[in-house]
Amino acid sequence: MLTNLTRRTLMKGAAATGLVATLGGRALAADEPLGIVLVVPSPVGDVGWGRALADGLEPVKAAYGDKVKVTIIENIQEGPDADRIMNKAVADGNKFLIAGSFGYQNGALQIARRNPDVTVLHASGFQVAPNFSPFAAQYSQGTYLMGMAAAALSKTGKLGSVSAFAIPELITSINAFTLGAQAVKPDVEVSVVWVNSWFDPAKEQEAAKALLAQKCDVIFSNAQDTPSVISACEEAGVPAFNLNSSMKKYAPKTYLGCVATDWSPFFKASVDAHIAGNFKGANAFLGVGDKVVEVVDWNPGIPADMMTRIKEVEAKIAAGSFSPFAGPIAKADGSEGVPAGKTMTEAEIVAMDWHVKGVTTPLPK
């Protein structure tokens, strides 16, 4: 959900303001387009994280036309290069920056602090400032549902995940996947291979094959920007699913589905607020109820009774009456993670740094 402020304020948009607004003391002239820059760590292809972010800006372009100028800078590794490129974008006069990777956080935050008239959105982070909002998808809501489906299809009781980096956002996705599977088959186990890259097709495919060799018979491609994992599973005849955008065309037979993200409501609302001069930084933790996360392209081979059960849980998640992280939940080491009667808060979920019981691969040090 949009926390603190932003749901009501952002969704009002700029309808009543027109396009002449004071931004940090500087007037934005009606004939001067708002420069919007999206920086992403991998190539923007036809699928994946970068594609989902780029698609999220389409309604902004449609709504504002030549009043905005959108620039996408792709394949920028985290570190000094990203900092340099983001700083240059702002120095060139762009006033709206989307820093599309967790590792961009420090550099993007410094830019926001030095430039109060610039709005910065940062993917997957946790820092907040008056003109700086972190945004993250509640993938866990979708991966819980995928876990239910995976357990229903699994014959070995062994599931796998090829995952990019061990950051809280992806740890929670694996944990929810495991908990959803255990809701169907309590003894299910999940193995993880961390590839430490957002974009490495060869390494991702190698990781998928390693999990298949361990008899994992449903695979979760966790934040890969390529279809390598999905394609490897198609060749092996094993169901697989992924995040952000559908990769069904790469696995027409075995594709289990996609925990898709639609960033357009958040991006449009944020641009509206910037133009109206009333943007206020806040955590944006967005899920099924916000229409940002949706599971699409469900495999028709999932048993009908299981799909009915999944849809019932999905409706409860959307209504806010069910959380994948309601206790009791045990940690992988057997200690208590969440006590009975307690549900993890958003702040606890976005900082999660431990695996649930059933995940057999230790987190990297």
Q: Which residue would you say has higher pLDDT here, 28 or 88?
A: 88
The residues near 118 (Cβ < 8 Å, ≥ 6 apart) are 24, 90, 94, 95, 96, 97, 111, 112, 131
Which of helix, strand or coil describes residue 199?
Answer: coil
34-56: buried (b, 16+ CB within 10 Å) or exposed (e) per residue? bbbbbbbbbebeebbbbbbbbbb
Whether this model's pTM surpasses 0.85: yes
Mean pLDDT of 331-354: 97
Q: What pLDDT is recorded for position 12?
A: 36
**Per-residue model confidence as pLDDT tens digits over 176-209:** 999 999 999 999 999 999 999 999 999 999 999 9
Mean pLDDT of the chain: 92
- At residue 20 the predicted structure's pLDDT band, cuts being 50, 70 and 90, is very low
Mean pLDDT of 338-365: 96
Q: Does residue 8 register a pLDDT over 70?
A: no
Q: Does residue 17 register a pLDDT over 80?
A: no
* Strands (DSSP E) found in the chain: 21-23, 26-28, 34-39, 68-73, 96-99, 119-123, 132-137, 158-163, 189-194, 219-222, 240-244, 255-261, 284-286, 293-296, 329-330, 336-338
Q: What pLDDT is recorded for position 141?
A: 98
**Per-residue model confidence as pLDDT tens digits over 130-153:** 999 999 999 999 999 999 999 999
For residue 148, how many C-alpha atoms fall within 13 Å in the half-sphere facing its CB?
21
Q: What pLDDT is recorded for position 4?
A: 31
Q: Does residue 256 register a pLDDT over 50?
A: yes
Q: Does residue 9 register a pLDDT over 80?
A: no
The residues near 154 (Cβ < 8 Å, ≥ 6 apart) are 181, 185, 188, 217, 218
Q: Does residue 2 register a pLDDT over 60?
A: no
Place of tokens 């699994």: 154
Q: Does residue 155 register a pLDDT over 90?
A: yes
Q: What pLDDT is recorded for position 365?
A: 83
Q: What pLDDT is recorded for position 34?
A: 98
Q: Does residue 28 register a pLDDT over 90?
A: no
CATH no. for 139-253+292-350: 3.40.50.2300
Q: Which residue would you say has higher pLDDT here, 5 or 75?
A: 75
- Helices 304-319 and 139-153 cross at an angle (nearest 10°) of 160
Q: Does domain 6-137+262-286 sit in CATH 3.40.50.2300? A: yes
Residue 196 burial class via C-beta count within 10 angstroms: exposed 0-12, middle 13-18, buried 19 and up: exposed
Q: Does residue 357 register a pLDDT over 60?
A: yes
Cβ atoms of residues 219 and 238 within 8 Å = yes
In the chain, ranges of CATH 3.40.50.2300 domains = 6-137+262-286, 139-253+292-350
Q: What pLDDT is recorded for position 13?
A: 37
Which of helix, strand or coil describes residue 77?
Answer: coil
Mean pLDDT of 1-30: 35
What's the rounded Cα separation, in Å, for the pair 126 and 282? Answer: 10
How much of the chain, in percent, has pLDDT values that exceed 70? Answer: 92
Mean pLDDT of 258-275: 98
205-226: buried (b, 16+ CB within 10 Å) or exposed (e) per residue? bebbbebbeeebbbbbbbbbbb
Q: What pLDDT is recorded for position 30?
A: 57
Mean pLDDT of 318-347: 98
Torsion of CA 306, 308, 309, 310, to 10 degrees: 90
- At residue 29 the predicted structure's pLDDT band, cuts being 50, 70 and 90, is low
Least confident of 12-16, 106-110, 304-308: 12-16
